Amino acid sequence: MGDKQRILILTADAGFGHRSCANAIAAALQERYGEECVATVVNPLDDARTPSLLRRSQSDYDRFVQAAPQVYDLGYQASDWKVPVSLAEGGLMVAMHNTLDETLTLYRPDVIVSTHPYYQAPLASVSVINNDYVPVLTVVTDLSTVHSLWFHRDVDMLLVPTEIVAQRALDSGFPAGRIEVTGLPVNPAFAHPQDKAALRDRLGWEQDRCTVLFSGSKRTRKIEPVAYALNHSVLPVQLAMVAGGDESLHRRWLETEWLAPAHVYGFVSNMPDLMMASDVIVCKAGGLTVAESLAAGLPLIIAELIPGQETGNAEYVLNAGAGEQAAGPLDALDILLHWLDLDGALLHERADNARSTGRPDAAYRVADLAMTFARQGAPHREHTLSAYAGQLREMLRRATESLSSNPYDGA
């Protein structure tokens, strides 16, 4: 066998979705292609060469969306116009050039898979300046409301989760022949359904109760009151509560006197098993959580969302008939009562809709495309930035001189 194909997967840690998507693709590559490739997941925003403003953007994201969600929404919408997008791309080309240039030199990838919108324009700039073109596949991680930074025209394939995003890309001017609807890559385990009764037996859950899964984290605030509302209801439910990395929430749930059968977890590595063993999930409308729930055929009660980027995810679920959005804990309780009425007729309908909407094999499709491009190399075509190679080099030269004379970047 010849040399292994080198696949570089770029991600970020602003939220869970980008990292989880990257890990899903890497897992699918390992499962399907084994010794034929080496898949490496890298977060360039963590690199010391990246300006501190961008490095901090990952932790600042959490604080900002929690403290001022409406302000975040306005900023998100204002930045998604043609001029702000062009300015942002220019800034990212300068800020990320050294990091990405040296990352590509280190890993020498045969193909690059990007799961974050910050990397498309800088990768195109590095390729033009070095006259060295590595195929770039962009995997969009939101289901409906998508920022235009994702749609840089020099990427070789735009892999989108839904037809809605495909249409948005077309409307932005992205070439139709380089768009494919793959679904949002989720853990490949979702493509291998397991028997619900066997899973519950292994988990120690009761078999004959409607099981409501809670997906909590440091980014959620409105999930917890729904759990307490269901705990004090007379519904025949059992509760499975995942606190994620929120140790304070985990502790509160452990100390709660649960009237309904309850199973409390902190950070888990078997979320596919928990989802496939449950009947309903109460969650935030993050792209990853929504995609995983749909892949598991799990109806969603959406208790909260980040205005702007997650609004479209919630709308996607509602339009598919795979769930509902709750205005508060009593509304969530009313939704579940309605679903369980008439022997759970509406719950079964919601589950069928979720199952038919989900794409549990998306990670495999992205893995197949990554291997195809790795073997074939970059297509021969004109890149939009090629005509500006001289200007790009001059822009980087001036930026380098400016940083050399004033190296403080606020770290």
Residue predicted with more confidence, 309 or 211 = 211
Contact 346, 312 (CB under 8 A): no
In this predicted structure, what is the pLDDT of residue 61? 52
Whether residue 227 has pLDDT greater than 60: yes
Residue 343 gets the label, from left (phi > 0), alpha (psi -120 to 50) or beta, of left
242-282 confidence digits (pLDDT tens): 998 899 999 999 999 999 999 999 999 999 999 999 999 99
Contact 46, 13 (CB under 8 A): yes
In this predicted structure, what is the pLDDT of residue 20? 92
Encoded tokens for 189: 């385990």
Mean pLDDT, the chain, whole residue set: 87
In this predicted structure, what is the pLDDT of residue 84? 55
Contacting residues for 60 by C-beta, under 8 A, at least 6 apart: none
In this predicted structure, what is the pLDDT of residue 319? 95
Q: What are phi and psi of 302, to 5 degrees?
A: -85, 115
**What global pTM score does this model have?**
0.87
Contacts by 56-61 with C-beta closer than 8 Å and gap 24+? 57/14, 58/12, 58/13, 58/14, 61/14, 61/15
Residue predicted with more confidence, 178 or 385 = 178
Whether residue 39 has pLDDT greater than 80: yes
Whether residue 298 has pLDDT greater than 70: yes
Q: Give DSSP secondary structure letters for 265-306.
A: ESS-S-HHHHHHH-SEEEEE--HHHHHHHHHTT--EEEEE--
Quick one: DSSP state of residue 178? G
**What's the CA dihedral at 304, 351, 364, 200 to 10 degrees?**
90
63-113 confidence digits (pLDDT tens): 545 554 554 444 445 455 454 566 777 778 888 888 999 999 999 999 999
Q: What's the mean pLDDT in 379-399?
A: 70
How far, CA to CA in Å, does 60 sit from each of 46, 53, 54, 137?
13, 9, 10, 27
Query: CA angle at residue 18 from 240 to 81, to 5 degrees?
Result: 120
How far, CA to CA in Å, does 393 sit from each of 295, 384, 389?
45, 15, 6
Q: Which of 359, 23, 60, 307 is nearest to 184 (CA)?
A: 359
Confidence of residue 406 (pLDDT cuts 50, 70, 90): low
Number of alpha carbons in the 13 Å side-chain half-sphere of residue 228: 14
Dist CA 87 CA 18 (whole Å): 23
Contact 210, 234 (CB under 8 A): no
Number of CB atoms found within 10 A of residue 258's CB: 16
Whether residue 325 has pLDDT greater than 90: yes
Whether residue 403 has pLDDT greater than 60: no
Contact 253, 226 (CB under 8 A): no
Looking at residue 266, its amino acid is: G
Whether residue 10 has pLDDT greater than 60: yes
Domains in the chain, ordered, with CATH? 5-188+361-405 (3.40.50.2000), 194-357 (3.40.50.2000)
Dist CA 221 CA 11 (whole Å): 26
Q: What's the mean pLDDT in 220-229?
A: 93
Q: Cα 396 from chain centroid?
A: 31
Q: What's the mean pLDDT in 341-370?
A: 96
Residue predicted with more confidence, 76 or 372 = 372
Choice among 161-165, 192-196, 214-218, 240-244 with the minimum mean pLDDT: 214-218
Q: Which of 156, 130, 119, 137 is nearest to 386 (CA)?
A: 130
Residue predicted with more confidence, 383 or 44 = 44
Dist CA 79 CA 77 (whole Å): 5
Confidence of residue 25 (pLDDT cuts 50, 70, 90): very high
Choice among 52-56, 302-306, 359-363 with the minimum mean pLDDT: 52-56
Q: What's the mean pLDDT in 333-349?
A: 96
Contacting residues for 367 by C-beta, under 8 A, at least 6 apart: 25, 28, 29, 32, 33
